[in-house]
Amino acid sequence: MIKQSEAIDACHKALLDKYDRNVPRYTSYPTATHFDSGVNEQIYHSWISNLNKGDSVSLYFHIPFCQQLCWFCGCSTKIVKRYNPVQSYVELLEKEKKLITELLPSSLDVRHIHFGGGSPNILRCEDFSRILKLSNEKFTLHKQAEIAVEVDPRTISSQMIVTLAKEGVTRVSLGVQDVNLKVQKAINRIQPYEKIQQVVDSFRLNGIEKINFDLIYGLPYQSCESIIHTIDLVSKLRPDRISLFGYAHVPWMRRHQLLINETNLPDIYSRFQLYQSAVDRLKHQGYVQIGMDHFALPDDEMLKAKNEKTLKRNFQGYTTDPAQVLLGFGASSIGYTQEGYVQNTSALKDYELALNQNRLPVSRGIQLSSDDLIRREVIETLMCYLEVNLEMVLAEYNLDPEFFSGELIELKTMEKAGLVRIKNLHITIPAENRVFVRSVCSLFDSFLKTNKAQHSLPV
Ligand SMILES: C[S@@+](CC[C@H](N)C(=O)[O-])C[C@H]1O[C@@H](n2cnc3c(N)ncnc32)[C@H](O)[C@@H]1O
Ligand code: SF4
């Protein structure tokens, strides 16, 4: 591991030493590691049947294919050299759409549609249009609906850009990661800056104005100088939003990450410095930080949502999506209803088998208990706003005043360490410690106490 701990301040060094324990990213609570086969096709069926005419829903389509493997990749994807497997998958996705649509009430109000992956731009234009086509009887697109697509800028064709615009896509999210060639070589992802610039220009020319970039810190060979250079260059393109993900090195889950030479990865102190340098530079470039890892230009609707306290956290990170129901389609996709979370099988052959037998390809999930709902509210509030008033949560759920007494003991230790502030039962994570938000959330995670599931580094 590369060590760069000299310049780190004593307080943060002590916090890193004390809280150097892998924690989840809390894109849901309970997290996906705790889903199990207790949620099956029948249960999901009954959850969907509880939906009512006119309810708000969002849709997620997972396209698990890419042309080339990035060695850092933690997504659920498969490398394909031909279109045949993608074509077969589109047929299955259509079948799944039909099976689910038949179970739905009419006139659902669609708020967000998200295409994730993998690289959805691998689809042929006509297949993208086909997937996006929804039953008019069952779905009504809300007039402010967001249709967002994750895009690999290296492989998107100009024809696909035109199709996305024509189909009403409102937002694209481009994988940028890092512009430094040495870093790019070490992660098997060569992507010239000029290519990103050309793709961004083309989206804008075609009328897609809302653009996100994904950046990653914690990659091999990154230095504070190199990450600042990446940020200076990419912020010239003025994407509305930038996500700054910490590299999750989880080779026990993604074996191909072993292709990355671990000796070239930064240690936890260097990761902290990389994060800090990136945050400072993004602010210098006019971006405002949201939650743990999102940044937006000052007039962005996500900042408005943060100020109006309507910001949410879901599998895409932070979101303005107001729908309480997400219908997931495709292998490995996760959805949710008021009752709980549900995930499709990730194995393509099982996905195919289920649909060929006219079964929903559900493999696992979790039904939410009242304890889960309380803890989810605390964790989501902390993740979005870096503060939570436990007194309000106790009142809202009519809980015994002692409900959080165990957590409060641990929070007091965190307060002594300078990580959080506690006033009455109001917990605040000061801005300079926001990178530790997941560690604070983990105190409220009752599954972590019983399960030793491994997640990713705390910063
Ligand atoms: C589905 S990809 C985005 C679209 C497209 N496939 C691409 O890479 O350009 C989702 C994003 O997840 C992030 N990501 C993937 N693996 C990661 C990992 N191991 N740690 C942190 N972020 C990761 C990357 O920033 C990537 O852009
Ligand atoms: S990072 Fe994106 S392009 Fe690279 S393998 Fe993962 S999903 Fe595919």
Within-domain flag for 427? yes
- pLDDT, residue 1, reads 43
Same domain? 152 vs 15: no
Decide if 364 is inside a domain: no
Q: Kindly list the protein residues whose Cβ atom lies closer than 6 A to any atom of ligand 1.
A: 66, 72-75, 116-119, 150, 152, 175, 177, 214, 216, 245, 247-248
Q: Is the pLDDT of residue 316 over 70?
A: yes
Asked if residue 446 and residue 398 are part of one domain, the reply reads yes
User: Average of pLDDT values for 152-179?
Assistant: 98
Domain of 400? 10-26+369-450
> What separation in Å is there between the alpha carbon of 19 and the centre of ligand 2?
30
Looking at 328, 357, 387, which one is the last position of a domain? 328
Closest approach atom of ligand 1 to CA 254: 19
The domain spanning residue 62 has which CATH number?
3.80.30.20
Q: Is the CB of 175 under 6 A from ligand 2?
A: yes
Q: Indicate whether 164 pLDDT > 90.
A: yes
Give the position, in ligand 1's atom list, of the atom nearest the Cα of 150.
Answer: 4
Question: What are the residue ranges of helices labelled H in 312-455?
Answer: 348-356, 370-385, 390-396, 405-416, 437-442, 446-450
Q: Are 176 and 308 contained in the same domain?
A: yes
Which atom of ligand 1 is least distant from the CA of 215?
A: 25
For residue 80, the CA-to-ligand 2 centroid distance in Å is 12
- CB-based burial, 259-280: b 16+ in 10 Å, e otherwise: ebeeeebbbbbbbbbbbbbbbe
Question: For 117-163, how does the pLDDT look when each residue is reduced to its tens digit (9 = 90+)?
Answer: 999 999 999 999 999 999 999 999 999 999 999 999 999 999 999 99
CA distance 304 to 435: 22
Q: To test ligand 1's pocket by mutation, which of 66, 69, 73 has the most ligand atoms within 8 angstroms of CB?
A: 73
Domain count, the chain: 2
183 is written with which tokens? 């870093």
pTM over 0.85: yes
DSSP letters for 298-316? TT-HHHHHHHTT--EEETT
Does 245 share its domain with 378? Answer: no
On whether both 139 and 20 belong to a single domain, the answer is no
Q: Is 122 in the pocket of ligand 2 (CB under 6 A)?
A: no
Residues 137 and 281 placed together within one structural domain of the fold: yes
pLDDT band at 17 (very low <50, low <70, confident <90, very high): confident
**For residue 38, cis peptide bond before it (omega within 30 degrees of 0):** no
Task: Give the model's pLDDT for residue 5.
Answer: 44
Given pLDDT bands bounded at 50, 70 and 90, which one contains residue 266? very high
The answer as to whether 267 is a domain residue is yes
- Asked if residue 356 is part of any domain, the answer here is no
- Strand residue runs (E) in 152-252: 171-177, 210-217, 241-246
Identify whether 90 is part of a domain: yes
The band of 457, judged by pLDDT with boundaries at 50, 70 and 90, is confident
Instruction: Establish if 423 belongs to a structural domain.
Output: yes
Better-predicted residue by pLDDT, 123 or 4: 123
Residue 451's pLDDT band (boundaries 50, 70, 90)?
Answer: low
Residue to mutate (ligand 2; options 62, 67, 119; most atoms within 8 A of CB): 119
For residue 3, the model assigns a pLDDT of 47
Provide the pLDDT confidence category of residue 455 given band limits of 50, 70 and 90. low
76/22 same-domain check: no
Q: Residue 402: which residues within 8 A CB-CB, separation 6 or more?
A: none
**Residue 172 pLDDT exceeds 60:** yes
Q: Which atom of ligand 1 is nearest to the CA of 119?
A: 6
Q: Over the stretch 27-73, which tens digit does the pLDDT of each residue have?
A: 999 999 999 999 999 999 999 999 999 999 999 999 999 999 999 99
Could you say which of 328, 354, 383 is where a domain stops? 328
Is 348 a member of any domain? no
- Per-residue model confidence (pLDDT) at position 448: 87
Q: Whose CA is closest to atom 7 on ligand 2? A: 118
Stretch 284-307: mean pLDDT? 96
| Mean local confidence (pLDDT), 296-325 | 95
Name the closest ligand to CA 156: 1
Rounded to whole angstroms, the maximal C-alpha distance in the chain is 63
Q: 389: which strand partners?
A: 426
pLDDT above 80 for 454: no
| Range 390-412 average pLDDT | 97
Specify whether the CB–CB gap between 77 and 330 falls below 8 A.
no
Cα-to-centroid distance, 369 and ligand 1 (Å) = 32
For residue 375, the domain's CATH number is 1.10.10.920
d(CA 389, CA 90): 46
386 and 432 in one domain? yes
Residues 160 and 214 occupy one common structural domain: yes
Query: CB burial class (10 A; 0-12, 13-18, 19+) of residue 117?
Result: buried
305 CB near ligand 2 (under 6 Å)? no
- pLDDT over 70 percentage in the chain: 97
**Residue bearing the bigger pLDDT, 387 or 1:** 387
Within 187-261, residue ranges assigned H as helices are 193-205, 224-235
115 and 179: one domain?
A: yes
Same structural domain, 164 and 247: yes
Q: State the number of CA atoms in the 13 A half-sphere of 203 facing the CB.
A: 28
Tell me which residue has its CA closest to atom 2 in ligand 2: 118
Q: Which residue has its alpha carbon closest to ligand 2 atom 4?
A: 70
Q: Choose the final residue of a domain: 313, 328, 343.
A: 328
Query: Which ligand 2 atom is at minimum distance from the Cα of 77?
Result: 7
Same domain, 300 and 211: yes
Ligand 1 center from residue 75 Cα (angstroms): 7
Mean pLDDT of 163-189: 98
Residue 148 lies in a domain: yes
Report the first-to-last Cα separation within the chain, whole angstroms.
16
- Give the nearest ligand 1 atom to 216 CA: 25
- Give the model's pLDDT for residue 33: 92
